[in-house]
Amino acid sequence: MPKRLQRYYGAGYLHFITSSCYRRRALLGTAARRNLFLKTLEQLRRRYGFVVVGYVVMPEHFHLLIGEPDKGNPSLVMQVLKQRVARKLLRSSRTRRPRAQDSLWDTTLNQTTSGSDGSMTSWFGASANEWRSYATCIATR
């Protein structure tokens, strides 16, 4: 960031803003993610009271042409916009990391069929309880 950067607010000018995603990744590459961005922009437009003259949302960056907000300034609006969109995108893409013993559970207990006597057996012929005890032995080693 350049030092001694001067920003002039309060004269009622339009502000052309361009911003890229982190490392120019295509984080806005799907229609759902672009809609999330636009929905967040609309919420902030109402909250801070500014005019959106035009926008372009591309997969890895966006351009905005906005008026000055009634509350705050364009820098604050951009900060809040980027934070909210990033948090929502990260929250939706975050998944629990699988542990080593989880892979055994996924491949065996989810592949069960019901036997003629009503008992659950896996595709490998062992019952679900046998696989559970086997997995417990492996996990405790």
Q: Please report whether residue 6 resides in a domain.
A: no
120-131 pLDDT, tens digit each: 443 344 455 554
Indicate the number of domains in the chain: 2
Complete DSSP assignment for 46-88 = HHHT--EEEEEE-SSEEEEEE---SSS-HHHHHHHHHHHHHHH
Per-residue confidence (pLDDT) for residue 119, from 0 to 100: 47
Q: Compute the Cα dihedral for 77, 78, 79, 81 and give only its sign.
A: positive
Which whole-number Å values give the CA distances from 90 to 5, 77, 83, 86, in the listed order? Answer: 31, 20, 10, 6
For residues 105 and 88, membership in a common domain is answered with no
Helix (H, G, I), strand (E, B) or coil at 20: strand
For residues 53 and 70, membership in a common domain is answered with yes
53-92 pLDDT, tens digit each: 999 999 999 999 999 999 999 999 999 999 999 999 888 7
Could you count the other beta carbons within 10 Å of the beta carbon of residue 28?
Answer: 22
Question: What single letter denotes the amino acid at residue 10?
Answer: G
Task: Record the tokens describing residue 36, joined without a space.
Answer: 């999330």
Residue with tokens 């990744």: 25
Bridge partner list, 61? 20
For residues 30 and 55, membership in a common domain is answered with yes
For residues 47 and 113, membership in a common domain is answered with no
For residues 105 and 134, membership in a common domain is answered with yes
Domain that holds residue 124: 100-140
With contact defined as beta carbons under 8 Å apart, do 19 and 62 qualify?
A: yes
Helix (H, G, I), strand (E, B) or coil at 6: coil
Per-residue confidence (pLDDT) for residue 125, from 0 to 100: 47
Per-residue confidence (pLDDT) for residue 61, from 0 to 100: 95
| pTM of the shown model | 0.62
Q: Please report whether residue 20 resides in a domain.
A: yes
End-to-end CA distance of the chain: 52
Could you count the other beta carbons within 10 Å of the beta carbon of residue 88?
Answer: 15
List the Cα angle 10/11/13 in 5-degree steps.
110
CATH number of the domain bearing residue 29: 3.30.70.1290
Q: Please report whether residue 23 resides in a domain.
A: yes
Q: Is residue 138 scored above 90 in pLDDT?
A: no
